Chain A
């Protein structure tokens, strides 16, 4: 097996194993129950939750900003002759704003209650996205052509 493909398999396996370990320790081992983190000192809790909250709120904020932009952008209406179907983008944008706002409120309430889910769900989302990307790169390395183009060989 070429060296590149070997490392592609490694990237793929590492992302799968880390993803599995994360799921096992973060969710399976806790029995999918909400643990109360009040036993943690304030400093320990906020040291954990602040970076996670920052990332989660940036992501939710981006979602809200996309919806808000679509909802509020002021442009000339399209020429009627080129309109092919009814555009429901504003309705969907409104729903996106609503969903992101609700999730943000839920998340902040979870932080206030010191709920385990407020910590685990955003951490899981970010971890799994990053590991998913590494998995994707691994698959691309494995499936890419193994030979160099002629100009690179020379």
Chain B
């Protein structure tokens, strides 16, 4: 099968899109398919067996100055770039929309040579996809979760009118709703996401297929000979992402009987705004360490050094940090937000599950697991077993191919 993957950001270190692309492409190649990837910056590293087709952009939304490239000084006046520039300055996030139009231009050229059997996008869903549909190639998209959830959870936190206005403009919900309902099939990563997409975008459940994400359990594994730090907790995620529920975790730390220490693995100091203020307010300065950006190897080491991982998210379409911790045999205290219960499994068996927005329950869970090392260890082992059995990229790729065949079959 000739498969063309689309990803508006291709690099695995820039976020989930790049990680998804890397593993899906790798596994599809292993299954013997010809894989091409049309990618936006930051670009992925070269991948064995995958032909990369790069699409440029100017990233006007994030680059506030020096956005004029000295080697292309007039590029900003090109109509599509000028549109990207103008709407960026008005607070609208144009990257996915302009990527979709550029991807159409690129695919129109590529299609003359390669004749793809299927095109598979990863959560872009820009208006340009309506043009790509005109190419007559079966076209599916992975939608991890509707952005309306990001917007709602963002509104749960205190902010002012100006910030709220920026958030309303930022999320391209109308565009994604229109485009989602015109795709041949939507692939999503959990049953909870199917429900959310149906509720938010009205996409029929019949037009959605669940393909669980995978996890590389050869990388995320328990390390032997590493000593656990007493009463240590770990949280992995962007602390400024309101979905992650960090405020409830910080509050929980003030309620535990045991004096615990939390290590936070996040994107680094420039990305922190509210959280340092909340830490001051809760008087937790001596009980929290921020690592900033670290390598995957260091993260695996940290998982092995810690006693408990926490995932108190208000919503997760899948919940990679929880799954990674589980693969490292770490017991996870996870909330019932979104698909987390689907991923972490049964309460008290493979994880300790608490309701969302409930600091008391989180604190109770921390104390329970700290006080019961045997249960903690058994839970960690059961957690890794669950990951090995259910969440592998190989399974994901096989399921994806089934969806491709179904969609291609409907075209014939």
A residues neighboring B (CB under 8 Å) = 4, 7-8, 11, 65-66, 69-70, 73, 75-79, 81-85, 87-89, 92-93, 129-130, 133-134, 136-137, 140-141, 144-149, 152
- Chain A residue at minimal CB-CB distance from B282: A81
13 pairs, CB–CB < 8 Å, chain A vs chain B: A70-B168, A73-B151, A73-B155, A75-B155, A77-B156, A78-B158, A87-B159, A89-B161, A133-B85, A137-B82, A141-B74, A144-B66, A149-B70
* A11 shortest CB reach to chain B, Å: 7
B residues neighboring A (CB under 8 Å) = 65-68, 70-71, 73-74, 76-77, 82, 85-86, 89, 151-153, 155-161, 164-165, 168-169, 247-248, 251, 274, 277-278, 281-282, 357, 359
* A148 shortest CB reach to chain B, Å: 5
Provide the bound-state CA to CA distance between A52 and B74, in Å: 29
Establish whether residues A89 and B159, one from each chain, have CB atoms under 8 Å apart when the complex forms. yes
* B278 shortest CB reach to chain A, Å: 6
* B381 shortest CB reach to chain A, Å: 34
- Kindly list chain B residues whose C-beta atoms are within 8 Å of the C-beta of A4: 70, 73-74
Tell which of A82, A137, A144, A148 touches B157, judged by Cβ atoms closer than 8 Å: A82
- A137-B161 contact, Cβ under 8 Å, with A7-B74, A66-B168, A76-B357: no
Establish whether residues A93 and B161, one from each chain, have CB atoms under 8 Å apart when the complex forms. yes
Establish whether residues A78 and B156, one from each chain, have CB atoms under 8 Å apart when the complex forms. yes
- Kindly list chain B residues whose C-beta atoms are within 8 Å of the C-beta of A7: 73-74
Most buried by B among A82, A92, A133, A141: A82
- Kindly list chain B residues whose C-beta atoms are within 8 Å of the C-beta of A140: 65, 67-68, 76
> Do most interface residues of chain A lie in helix, strand or loop, or is the interface mixed?
helix
Tell which of B76, B151, B247 touches A137, judged by Cβ atoms closer than 8 Å: B76
- Kindly list chain A residues whose C-beta atoms are within 8 Å of the C-beta of B278: 82
Provide the bound-state CA to CA distance between A11 and B161, in Å: 35
* B156 shortest CB reach to chain A, Å: 5
* B92 shortest CB reach to chain A, Å: 10
- Kindly list chain B residues whose C-beta atoms are within 8 Å of the C-beta of A145: 66, 70
* B167 shortest CB reach to chain A, Å: 9
* B306 shortest CB reach to chain A, Å: 25
- Kindly list chain B residues whose C-beta atoms are within 8 Å of the C-beta of A148: 70-71
- Chain A residue at minimal CB-CB distance from B254: A81
List 6 extra interface pairs beyond A70-B164, A129-B86, A144-B66, CB under 8 A: A66-B169, A73-B155, A89-B164, A92-B161, A133-B86, A141-B73
- Chain B residue at minimal CB-CB distance from A133: B86
- Chain B residue at minimal CB-CB distance from A129: B86
Establish whether residues A79 and B251, one from each chain, have CB atoms under 8 Å apart when the complex forms. yes
State the 10 A-B residue pairs at the shortest beta-carbon distance, nearest first. Answer: A4-B73, A144-B68, A92-B161, A89-B161, A75-B155, A75-B156, A66-B168, A137-B76, A140-B68, A133-B86
Establish whether residues A8 and B73, one from each chain, have CB atoms under 8 Å apart when the complex forms. yes
* B52 shortest CB reach to chain A, Å: 19
Provide the bound-state CA to CA distance between A77 and B248, in Å: 13
Establish whether residues B161 and A88, one from each chain, have CB atoms under 8 Å apart when the complex forms. yes
